[in-house]
Structure 1
């Protein structure tokens, strides 16, 4: 099967020496055998020589020659292709980083629980778990209401055996909240309360750093309890508070 087809494009490539060695040798043999093709080839060569001799040439500025001399030769398509590859790689990296961040970043629920547990621990260690110390609901409730933009319900979870010790004001989720402090045997229970139409959007009961948490929605308020008591007792106390079993005094 012939490698060389005497088309105008192939003849130009033959004259300019752009064919591979095997095809170049085959073309030379074909031109040698075909008188008409040989004459046409000579005419093309004369035209090529005339262009080289008579065409105007302009020397490149010295600065341009120096700049080009410092750069390795690259095909014209390479920079564009390289930038596309680099751009695609950067985009993939950004998508991967965003995915990892979303996967590893704590959810709003986790942040809220972590804040509540940290507040409970901080108040306990600093021995400032109570701003107003009283077992009297009529003392604790007015004190909190005077310092907040809402009036928190204050009850005694009699059925669960917890006793009101007092309350304090703290911050949770970027806003001030009421904290009711209860005692159940040797355990302190902090109950965070703030206005909300729904219960906190968190999965409870849940353990955080060894502390139990439980959440509920009741009486137009969100309730979030934190303690080192066992999960069953904590859930029982919160149930008593939010089911109307607490006896206000």
Structure 2
């Protein structure tokens, strides 16, 4: 199998940009039916994530999102328990970091990975129940989060009405930034970021989505600003098309 050849050795795949890109491209596509994921793909994925943890950015977390959206969509479900717990721990730390809070696009990618991690099948033991970092522990208003949110990052984003309101606000702000233009966001990143935003908003309670635009003066102003950015001169039609899906 060509993929296996590129994945060995893993360190070589990571150190040589051309091999790294090929491996990520392969693993970003669903595997053909009945074709198992090579064992070396798990090692490659973990190494890529470890590098992203050291320097979180769209460029380092993007491959993680792409692989979880492709051939590695069920990989998290078969990781050893300690490895899975560490993955969720580190993802939550990145999500709550100053880097993510100050970088709208990085925040969207964190949201996307959190959703994919939550949807990974056969999680087994409730993730985060062991060694869960204090920063991800439920707050008093989250003592009884919805049972469906099993991972620390997802519970932080969607575990209560208050957290969902905050997540919705941050998502809209990030979409505004992606549509702003002249801020260094490529059209490709803007399109993918908005797709993540759509999925994030779809995970929020419909009633919260319905009432959010009128929930505060700040929300009203953001809603107007989002419309302005979508209608601005020079916006790429593909970006504009993705934003329109936010209303569907």
TM-score band, normalised by shorter chain: under 0.3
> In terms of Rg, which structure is larger?
1
The structure whose RCO (Cα within 8 Å, separation 6+) is larger is: 2
More strand by share: 1
Q: TM-score, normalised by structure 1?
A: 0.23
More helix by share: 2
Q: TM-score, normalised by structure 2?
A: 0.23
